[in-house]
Amino acid sequence: MAKITFDGIEVEVEDGTTILQAARKIGGNVVPPAMCFYTPLKGSGGKCRVCLVKVSQGSAKDPRPMPKLVASCITPVQDGMVVENTTNEDVLNARKSIVEMLLINHPLDCPICDQAGECSLQDLSYEHGVSATRYEEERRSFNKVDLGPYIQLHMTRCILCYRCVYTADQITPERVHGVLGRGDAAEIGTYIENVVANDFSGNVIDVCPVGALTDKTWRFKNRVWFTKPLDAHRDCPTCSGKVTLWARGETVLRVTARKDQYNEVEEFICNTCRFDKKEVSDWTIEGPRHIERSSVISANHYELPVINVPIVPNLPVSTKKNLPQE
């Protein structure tokens, strides 16, 4: 076991745990954001650099601080480590810089993007970004790539987190796509036109933090914050069958895996569940899905009576009373 101090909070974790996982054990606002790291995927992380933190004391044995900011998602903890995240100005400035970098070539087409409302980049830029840009050049754009009947690749929105590459490597039996090219011309692609088609290929949509990979059976059907997330399951021969249905009225618009507060899937699901079972009668509904983190979805929460929903967090009590009663 290793004891570390994260933003002044002490936490004890197993040896070999990463700083990010230790911070998640504490939870709340001190947790560094993560765009490329994905717990279920081995080898992911270290690429987007938004989780940079300052290690002001390396360990109890060697108390020297680490010279550079380190990526918390891949740096293992050491006993006696002292880490600064939200308490260190350098870290916050670095994070702001990274968000700026991620956004300079992002099309910012949120109004027509299916991921809007559950997009990690959107959340991140609200929290750490600046409203104006200093970038005046033309933004990078790519041609659309056809990946088959289910998955739409919109490369222009991609932040090259490599999650879909790791997913294809580790979850599906074959990988036909990868990263081509170099630098800011790097892109996800199949090189020779190819269909990403196997029983678990749909999971690349779930792991994508932005709107680069979207579900063709759901594209442009609705905005995510108008839909109701429901936990449901079915007896599936290939996967666990535990999913979240995104329904509007009696219509199931979309099926995804269940994601936790860090947008990480609990169990990967198969393509049959995801793309073919779009009737309420296909599923046993368990109840509403609790959505904790993702921005606007929780603003429309129906688990609680509307009166208690903190739409504006610091709303005075008197105004709250004037809200329409359900």
Partner 1 sequence: MGLKILTEHINVPGIETLEVYRKHGGYKSVEKALKTMTPDEVVEEVKTSGLRGRGGAGFPTGMKWSFLAKPEGVPRYLVCNADESEPGTFKDRWFMEKNPHALVEGMITSSYALGAHTSYIYIRGELLFILRILEKAIAEAYAAGLLGKNILGSGYDLDLHVAPGGGAYICGEETALLESLEGKRGNPRNKPPFPAVKGLFASPTVVNNVETIASVPWIVNNTGAEYAKVGIGRSTGTKLISASGNINKPGVYEIELGVPVEEFIYSDEYCGGIWKGKQLKAVVPGGSSVPILPANLILKTATGEDRLMSYESLSDGGFVTGSMLGSGAFIVFDEDQCIVRNTWNYARFYHHESCGQCSPCREGTGWMEKVLHRIEYGHGHQQDIDLLVSVAKQIEGNTICPLGDAAAWPVAAAIRHFRDEFEWHIKHPQEATAPGAVYRGQLATIEA
Within residues 74-93, the interface with partner 1 by CB under 8 A covers 74-76
Burial of 279 (C-beta count, 10 Å sphere; 0-12/13-18/19+): exposed
CB of 150 or CB of 162, closer to partner 1: 162
| CA separation for the pair 313, 114 (Å, rounded) | 26
Tokens of 141: 């754009």
- Give the list of residues 6+ apart from residue 318 with CB closer than 8 angstroms, or none: none
Rg (CA), the chain: 21
Sole residue written with tokens 């249905």: 245
Instruction: Write down the least CB distance from residue 260 to partner 1, Å.
Output: 24
CA 127 to chain centroid? 14
Q: Does 309 bind partner 1 (CB under 8 A)?
A: no
Q: Does 102 bind partner 1 (CB under 8 A)?
A: yes
Contact pick of 100, 169, 199, 282 for partner 1 (by CB under 8 A): 100
| CA separation for the pair 62, 13 (Å, rounded) | 19
CB of 85 or CB of 272, closer to partner 1: 85
Contact pick of 2, 19, 69, 155 for partner 1 (by CB under 8 A): 69
Contact pick of 45, 117, 189, 211 for partner 1 (by CB under 8 A): 45
Mapping DSSP to helix (H, G, I), strand (E, B) and coil, where does residue 308 land?
helix
CB of 157 or CB of 301, closer to partner 1: 157
- Give the list of residues 6+ apart from residue 174 with CB closer than 8 angstroms, or none: 168, 198
Binding mask 3-22 for partner 1 (x = CB under 8 A): --------------------
Contact pick of 56, 86, 97, 251 for partner 1 (by CB under 8 A): 97
For every residue of 66-91, DSSP letters joined together read PSS-EETTTPBP-TT-EEESTT-HHH
Mapping DSSP to helix (H, G, I), strand (E, B) and coil, where does residue 184 land?
helix
Contact pick of 3, 25, 47, 128 for partner 1 (by CB under 8 A): 47
Within residues 174-193, the interface with partner 1 by CB under 8 A covers 178-179, 181-186
- Give the list of residues 6+ apart from residue 203 with CB closer than 8 angstroms, or none: 167, 171, 172, 257, 265, 268, 269
Q: Which stretch binds partner 1 (CB under 8 A): 41-49, 214-222, 268-276, 305-313?
A: 41-49
| CA separation for the pair 98, 100 (Å, rounded) | 5
Within residues 123-182, the interface with partner 1 by CB under 8 A covers 134-135, 137, 140, 159-160, 162, 178-179, 181-182
Which residues contact partner 1 by CB under 8 A? 45-50, 52, 68-69, 71, 74-76, 94, 97-98, 100-102, 104-105, 134-135, 137, 140, 159-160, 162, 178-179, 181-186
